[in-house]
Amino acid sequence: MDSFELNKIAGAVLFAVLVVFGVKELGSAIYHTEEADPQAYAIDVPEEGAPAATEEPEEQGPSLAELLADADPASGEKIAKRCAACHTFEEGGPNRIGPNLHGIVGNAVASHEGFSYSDALKGIGGEWTFEKLNHFVEKPSGFAPGTNMAFAGLRKGSDRADLLAYLNSLGSNQPYPEVEAAPAEEAAPAAEEAPAEEEAPAEEDAEQAG
């Protein structure tokens, strides 16, 4: 093998070495990395013994008694039209998919003549109070699991109160539950009166006048 061939081989090897080092340097320049910072994603950890954060309680709305005190039977009559496909409301009206609802407030649960009630309602017992009707109308399946009533319910408390006021006007006329009086604010203690200045004796006044 002559020197020309050897030079070619040596040149090829040198070129390959240069290419490898060139690629390495180029990759380092493009993909520059730094050491990880342990504080880059710091997470606040509560100190030992610190009280755990608690969720604030949800504000409660008006009570049923308060809603009924402001209820509008006329608005309740409009709401009742949603139920007209399954119920009648006039006195002596026929049963449909659901029973006639005239005089329901204060009446015994599952007691309307001629209607076949589900076992879920038969097991409730007692009378249809405002409270029971409110819970039933809000979500029938929640109040009486297994009921045949497919109505999803009225979520708005004022709508339920208006409906109950309308139902109550249909021959029931039951007294509304009393609204609990708000606790009276404590009266601020009366300011202490400054002591009155003592009057000078009458003799001293006479001497000063003389």
**DSSP codes joined into one string, 23-60:** HHHHHHHHS------TTTT----PPTTPPPP-PPPPPP
Q: How far is CA 208 from the centre of its chain?
A: 79
Render each residue's pLDDT in the chain as its tens digit; 210 residues.
Answer: 566 666 777 777 777 777 766 666 655 555 555 554 544 444 444 455 555 445 555 457 899 999 999 999 999 999 999 999 999 999 999 999 999 999 999 999 999 999 999 999 999 999 999 999 999 999 999 999 999 998 999 999 999 999 999 999 999 999 999 998 877 655 455 555 555 555 555 555 545 544
DSSP letter (8 states) at residue 97: S
Q: Report helix, strand or coil for 43.
A: coil
Helix or strand run (H / E) with residue 8: helix 3-30
Torsions phi, psi for 38 (to 5 deg): -65, -15
Taking the C-alpha atoms of residue 36 and residue 66, their distance in angstroms, rounded to an integer, is 62
Evaluate whether 92 touches 102 at the Cβ level (below 8 Å).
Answer: yes
How do the domains of the chain map onto residue ranges? Answer: 64-168
Helix or strand run (H / E) with residue 160: helix 157-168
Q: Which CATH superfamily is domain 64-168 in?
A: Cytochrome c-like domain (1.10.760.10)
